[in-house]
Chains A and B, each alone.
Chain A
Amino acid sequence: KNEVEQSPQNLTAQEGEFITINCSYSVGISALHWLQQHPGGGIVSLFMLSSGKKKHGRLIATINIQEKHSSLHITASHPRDSAVYICAVRAAGNKLTFGGGTRVLVKP
């Protein structure tokens, strides 16, 4: 079992729909990152969370430390949101352990 599991692996939505991506982890962590990776490889850090909730534009990230679970929500999705979204946790040693990613396709 991987230390970081994401679901779903693939997601297709119509423009305007609300999207939720889930991340579960099995180790104690100091922080959790949500990252966005576009075709070609570039990775952008969206959020870093250690508790509660953060919001940036149409993106909302939540984390429940007790349940070892985080969600990334995209409201009013747009085709430009199409990307791979990756959850990564920081545990001991300051290294990041990544989930396998969720491939999101938003159709116009």
Chain B
Amino acid sequence: ETGVTQSPTHLIKTRGQQVTLRCSSQSGHNTVSWYQQALGQGPQFIFQYYREEENGRGNFPPRFSGLQFPNYSSELNVNALELDDSALYLCASSQGLAGVVLGTDTQYFGPGTRLTVL
């Protein structure tokens, strides 16, 4: 089974630009969660998608948006980039609701995309 992959690995943007980050879920997983990790801090939950629908959202403004595709891969879009958006963006896939019921809902993390906003 393949693991969670993310692209690109590194990205440099300027304030006001827009960015799209991509994540491919682990085989068999229908849920993907996105996290933002600022330097020296723990990850913060952005949102989660389950079977192509948003299934929960953290305290992030609407300029953070996402998509999940029928193959369960996902995108995170950030508009009007700000300097504070510089961070490591992590996605994690899991078996979603079925996994929660069965107690097997371990999240598998991708390597992350490091975004720098200048």
A pairs with B: yes
Q: From DSSP, what is the main secondary structure of chain A's interface residues?
A: strand
Q: Which of B45, B58, B111 is A40 in contact with, Cβ under 8 Å?
A: B111
> Across the interface, which residues of A come within 8 angstroms of B42, CB to CB?
4, 86, 88, 98-101
Bound together, the chains give a CA A3 to CA B108 distance in angstroms of 22
A-B pairs, 6 with minimum CB distance? A98-B42, A43-B109, A41-B112, A93-B56, A95-B45, A100-B42
Instruction: Please report the total number of A residues contacting B with Cβ < 8 Å.
Output: 25
Contact A95 B56 (CB under 8 A): yes
Q: A94-B55, A94-B56 are in contact. Are A45 and B33 (CB under 8 A)?
A: no
> Across the interface, which residues of A come within 8 angstroms of B112, CB to CB?
41-43
Q: Which of A45, A50, A100 is B107 in contact with, Cβ under 8 Å?
A: A45
Give A86's nearest chain B residue, CB to CB. B42
Bound together, the chains give a CA A88 to CA B108 distance in angstroms of 13
Scan residues 63-93 of chain A and give those whose CB is less than 8 A from a CB of chain B. 86, 88, 90, 93
Contact B100 A30 (CB under 8 A): yes
Contact B109 A100 (CB under 8 A): no
Q: A30-B100, A33-B107, A96-B107 are in contact. Are A43 and B90 (CB under 8 A)?
A: yes
